[in-house]
Amino acid sequence: MCGIVGYLGPHQAAPLLLEGLARLEHRGYDSAGVAVLGGSGIRVAKRAGRVRDLSEDLPKRFTGKVGIGHTRWATHGPANDVNAHPHTDTKELVAVVHNGIIDNAAALRDELAEEGVDLVSDTDTEVLAHLIAGSGADTLEGKVAETLGRIHGTYGIAVLHVDFPDRIVVARNGSPLIIGVGDKEMYVASDLAALVRYTTTVAHLDDGEMATITSAGFSTYRLGASGLAATNRRAAHVDVDPASYDAGEYDSFMYKEILEQPAAAERVLRGRLDERFATGHLGGLNLDARELRAIRRIKVLGCGSAYYVGEMGATLIEELARIPADAEAASEFRYRNPIIEPDTLYVVVSQSGETVDTLLAVQEIQRKGGRVIGLVNVVGSAIAREVDGGIYLHAGPEVAVASTKALTNMFLGFAMLALQLGRVRDLSIADGRRLIAGLEALPHKIEQILATEERLEAIAARLAEAESLFFIGRVRGFPVAREGAQKFKEISYRHAEAYQTSELKHGPLALISPDVPTVAIVPDDELVERNVAALHEIAARGGPLVVVTHEDVALRGLPSDLAERIVVPRSERELDPILLTIPLQVLAYHAAKHLGHDIDKPRNLAKSVTVE
């Protein structure tokens, strides 16, 4: 959730570190710091606040051609200058930046205190600096390996040492690290965003792997009980446009990414719809027709928005393939000692491919012999490397914390998976062609919704004034309501609750009042009459309504001063959820903007959740 960047080369490190950190603020942003290694030793500058605050306070002669930097998302101790990274030992021989959580940090702090070490921060990370400095190993690699052998938990670390000024040593266990290879210079980062301006030749470290970075290149090792064993990690080119990490003319990445959804949708569908056989063409699943037919159950796992779109996907699979399917929060999955069935296909969903809760669920499934595939946006990410097969989302880099275009492509990935599963079973060729036509029409229909932004902005301004909101829907519409409530909570900081429409009368209706608006998802489907009846129950109690629906849905009898309609284009019923979701993204964005919030950096949140 925090961000790491490192540099070694012919240029001054500090400006490059600061620029890299600015590109990682979506990963953590309550404090920032840099350390450079020069002729006078290690110099550290850090402070609470944003990277721009650090840049303004940085001494003019902060020189050194080897350096590491960090943006922090607080886990141990509040956001202040002392708890900011990098952390050093007492003599400032060592500087460390760290993502993750050291589970036995309290015990290690006690040991160090008994030895007379003065710990100045509240963090778990500081113990690493003291342990590395106190190691008796002859090499920096040996000092780091010895220290990591004493800790339990997750980490992505980068280490400087005064006695080894020609190198940075990095290691990974549960928190991503990428090595970047430049022209006579080397980089390290926790996210490709920090590197793309300088190099697109990268190597991803695996869990349990360590690397030494020098001007000559990099070497990798496997951490084991018997010491360090060399690995043959190689760098490879990644196909990414650096402009994707620049907001350009837009006021936020979220707004840019909302508008990119038609193009992103076209990319994920391209080449994956088989017109001849009216099916999906997902070769990356690594499952043939016989294996697909043998699946008896689907279990979808994700966190946050990925969980809610997983619910949409499970509904799609049940409808089209007639296989029992359900979704569950990945963060809870392994803790209930799940039964892993051999004829169940497990589907994990993650934009970053580094979500630690989801990654741990993958490892639990595979430990028990289950088959797992992934819907992942980031090529080369940990989940993408660990799963048995999957669907890359091709949404392009998504920087904003609140997911928009990746979520849309997740839904489309599920639609293609459901179509392929359905066509090896009982889904007719006519229905297959109907759904393919519906999928191909979606990008244009998303454009039509985005063209109504001005009206959505006016509605959002009114919703933003409410302290609490309800989002309601049924069956296909309920996950849409959950995602809509999530977006409002994430970036407008308004209390928003999602309920099944049918559950209102079983308790939540007591909270309906003129001060609590309800955003209702009412597609023109088999439940439209029951949904409209529920709207009357809300209106009878003076509750304001915003109804996301189709053009011909009759809202007869609802007072015009209480009910406002948002119309989305019709699609195939199975595909309605994603079109019903798009206006909720726009509403949340404009509500947050109306309230003056920092939309890309919502408080207390980070883009890639790499700690439990």
Residue 218 is which amino acid?
F
The predicted pLDDT at position 27 comes to: 62
Please indicate, yes or no, whether residues 399 and 480 belong to a single structural domain of this protein.
no
Which is it for the CA torsion 491, 492, 497, 502, positive or negative? negative
Q: Is residue 245 part of a domain?
A: no
Q: Mean pLDDT over residues 541-563, rounded?
A: 89
Please indicate, yes or no, whether residues 352 and 210 belong to a single structural domain of this protein.
no
* Separation CA 564–CA 567 (nearest Å): 10
Q: Which residues pair with 565 in a beta bridge?
A: 547
Burial 12-42, CB ≥16 within 10 A → b, else e: bbbebbbbbbbbbbbbbbbbbbbbbbbeeeb
Q: Mean pLDDT over residues 558-572, rounded?
A: 90
Please indicate, yes or no, whether residues 435 and 500 belong to a single structural domain of this protein.
no
* Separation CA 273–CA 482 (nearest Å): 29
* Separation CA 296–CA 34 (nearest Å): 52
pLDDT at 160 over 90: yes
The predicted pLDDT at position 102 comes to: 94
Asked if 2 is an active-site residue, the reply is yes
pLDDT at 173 over 70: yes
Q: Is residue 600 part of a domain?
A: no
Please indicate, yes or no, whether residues 432 and 488 belong to a single structural domain of this protein.
no
* Among 271, 421, 252, 268, residue whose Cα is nearest residue 351: 268
Local confidence band at 28 (pLDDT 50, 70, 90 cut-offs): low
Among 189, 217, 239, where does a domain finish?
Answer: 239
Please indicate, yes or no, whether residues 165 and 91 belong to a single structural domain of this protein.
yes
Local confidence band at 610 (pLDDT 50, 70, 90 cut-offs): low
Local confidence band at 266 (pLDDT 50, 70, 90 cut-offs): very high
DSSP 242: G
Share above pLDDT 70 across residues of the chain, in percent, rounded to a whole number: 98
Which is it for the CA torsion 324, 284, 381, 219, positive or negative? positive
Q: Is 340 left (phi over 0), alpha (psi -120 to 50) or beta?
A: beta
Q: Go through the chain and tell me how many residues it has.
A: 612
Q: Is residue 99 part of a domain?
A: yes
Both tokens assigned to 529: 């009459």
The predicted pLDDT at position 494 comes to: 96
Among 192, 209, 239, where does a domain finish?
Answer: 239
Please indicate, yes or no, whether residues 287 and 189 belong to a single structural domain of this protein.
no
Please indicate, yes or no, whether residues 186 and 257 belong to a single structural domain of this protein.
no
Please indicate, yes or no, whether residues 432 and 570 belong to a single structural domain of this protein.
no
The predicted pLDDT at position 271 comes to: 95
Q: Is residue 608 part of a domain?
A: no
Please give the model's pTM, rounded to 2 decimal places.
Answer: 0.88
Please indicate, yes or no, whether residues 432 and 514 belong to a single structural domain of this protein.
no
Catalytic residue among 445, 593, 601, 607: 607
Give 2-47 as a DSSP string.
-EEEEEESSS-HHHHHHHHHHTTGGG--SEEEEEEEETTEEEEEEE
Q: Mean pLDDT over residues 229-243, rounded?
A: 86
CATH of the domain at 180: 3.60.20.10
Q: Kindly state the helix (H) or strand (E) to which residue 375 belongs, with its residue range.
A: strand 371-376
Q: What are the backbone dihedrals phi and psi of residue 573, each rounded to the nearest 5 degrees, phi first?
A: -55, -40
Local confidence band at 601 (pLDDT 50, 70, 90 cut-offs): confident
Please indicate, yes or no, whether residues 403 and 472 belong to a single structural domain of this protein.
no
Please indicate, yes or no, whether residues 162 and 106 belong to a single structural domain of this protein.
yes
Distances (CA, A) of 54 to 34, 58, 238: 9, 6, 31
Query: Using one digit for the tens of pLDDT, what is the confidence trace for 86-128?
Result: 999 999 999 999 998 999 999 999 999 999 999 999 999 999 9
Give 155-201 as a DSSP string.
EEEEEEETT-TT-EEEEEEBS--EEEE-SS-EEEESSGGGTTTT--E
Among 449, 481, 513, where does a domain finish?
Answer: 449
Q: Mean pLDDT over residues 437-451, rounded?
A: 98
Q: Mean pLDDT over residues 437-455, rounded?
A: 98
Q: How many domains, the chain?
A: 3
Please indicate, yes or no, whether residues 326 and 396 belong to a single structural domain of this protein.
yes
CATH of the domain at 572: 3.40.50.10490
Query: Using one digit for the tens of pLDDT, what is the confidence trace for 353-364?
Result: 989 899 999 999
Q: Is residue 83 part of a domain?
A: yes
Highest mean predicted confidence (pLDDT) among 27-36, 295-304, 395-404: 295-304
Give 517-577 as a DSSP string.
-EEEEE-SSTTHHHHHHHHHHHHHTT--EEEEE-TT---TT--TTTEEEEE-----GGGHH
Q: Is residue 537 part of a domain?
A: yes
Residues 389, 285 contacting (CB under 8 angstroms) = yes
Which positions ≥6 away from 292 have C-beta within 8 Å? 285, 420, 421, 424
Which residue range is the domain that position 270 belongs to?
Answer: 253-449
Q: Is residue 605 part of a domain?
A: no
Q: Mean pLDDT over residues 37-46, rounded?
A: 94
The predicted pLDDT at position 611 comes to: 63
Query: Using one digit for the tens of pLDDT, what is the confidence trace for 290-308?
Result: 999 999 999 999 999 999 9
What does the mean pLDDT of the chain come to? 93
Q: Is residue 602 part of a domain?
A: no
* Separation CA 95–CA 314 (nearest Å): 47
Q: Which residues pair with 549 in a beta bridge?
A: 522, 567
Query: Using one digit for the tens of pLDDT, what is the confidence trace for 458-477?
Result: 999 999 999 999 999 999 99
The predicted pLDDT at position 72 comes to: 87
Q: Mean pLDDT over residues 259-281, rounded?
A: 96
